Amino acid sequence: MANPSPNHPDLDESINVPEVHAALRDDSIAAGREKSIRENGMEPVGLIMLIPCALILLLGGSVLGKGGNLFGYNELFKEGYMRAPAPGGEEIVLPPGPALSLFSKEGAKVYGKCIGCHGSDGAGGNGIPPLAGSEWVTGNTDQLSQIIIHGLKGPVSVAGVDYNNNMPAMGEGLGPKELAFIMTYIRNEWGNEASLVTPEMGAAALEIAKLRGSDQVDVVELKNNHDKMLPGEPLSPESLVDPETLEPVEQPAAE
Ligand code: HEC
């Protein structure tokens, strides 16, 4: 019989390997059934503690949920509350301003629709006529409004130069105010000088536009039907208008 190898005790023939393994397996199963012992302070909580705690939490939750005024928003919110003005500061009311500059400011925004063709300097180019120095722009507002709303086709002479091109209808999305402001803007920009167009006149332009089809206007039609000013009370460039609504104000706010 050879000496058992210290590294391989199972080679010792006196050991019954299946027996030893079986014993090991039984042990591990038994160990698994055993409740493991927790460290001090980590023992599981007994039901006798758990149930009262759960009840307290439930009760607390219902108190918070519908519990009258304990945490009620209505306690903090005072009916008719108004924030007091900051010390030394009254509410800021923008003063009325002159109609021309306020209308033009709005009109400049609408001009974004035209700028691609007529240019930021209103000089046109590439077969597109200028708005600067154009008698169509500073002339009769009925004509001008219908060019903008319906577009323009065919031969047209602008500041002594002949054009024969095509402008698409630009009326889409333009209400009475936008029309008034874009016309006021181009009539008074780049050295142009002409009367203001009011939202009332803009509304009249839309009414006139409705009476014809939606195809582009041409010079003949403009001369025949639209060679006049839009109806409406004129507004002087310096008249004061409200900076928010752009409606005329009665009195200069003297305070
Ligand atoms: C796609 C290019 C294009 C756009 C955008 C455009 N136009 Fe025109 N516009 C033209 C062309 C081209 C003519 C000349 C049409 C012709 O020859 O019959 C013209 C002519 C005019 C005229 C008459 C002639 C003149 O030069 O005075 C006015 C006024 C005018 N446009 C204003 C406007 C305004 C305002 C807008 C923006 C709301 C606008 N256009 C947008 C291309 C354009």
Which residue among 110, 114, 223 has the greatest number of ligand 1 atoms within 8 angstroms of its CB, and so is best to mutate?
A: 114
Contact 222 CB / ligand 1 (< 6 Å): no
CA of residue 225 to ligand 1 center, whole Å: 19
Average pLDDT, the chain: 86
pLDDT tens digits for range 189-217: 999 999 999 999 999 999 999 999 889 99
Give the domain ranges of the chain: 98-234
Q: Is any ligand 1 atom within 6 A of the Cβ of residue 219?
A: no
Residue 93 pLDDT > 70, yes or no?
Answer: yes
User: What per-residue confidence (pLDDT) applies to 20?
Assistant: 73
CA 160 to chain centre: 44
Residue 91 has pLDDT above 90, yes or no: no
Protein fold of 98-234: Cytochrome Bc1 Complex; Chain D, domain 2 (1.10.760)
pLDDT-based confidence at residue 40 (cuts at 50, 70, 90): confident
For ligand 1, whether the C-beta of 174 sits within 6 Å is no
Is 183 close to ligand 1, i.e. is its CB under 6 Å away? Answer: no
Calculate the dihedral angle through the C-alpha atoms of 203, 204, 210, 213, rounding to the nearest 10 degrees.
Answer: -120
Torsion angle of the four alpha carbons 215, 132, 116, 199, in this order, in degrees rounded to the nearest 10: -60
pTM given for the model: 0.69
Determine the pLDDT at residue 240. Answer: 93
State pLDDT tens for residues 132-146: 999 999 999 999 999
What phi-psi label fits residue 144: left (phi over 0), alpha (psi between -120 and 50 degrees) or beta?
A: alpha
Q: Over the stretch 143-153, which tens digit does the pLDDT of each residue have?
A: 999 999 999 99
| Neighbouring residues of 103: CB distance < 8 A, sequence distance ≥ 6 | 180, 181, 184, 185, 196, 197, 241, 246
Average pLDDT, integer, range 32-51: 80
pLDDT of the residue at 1: 46
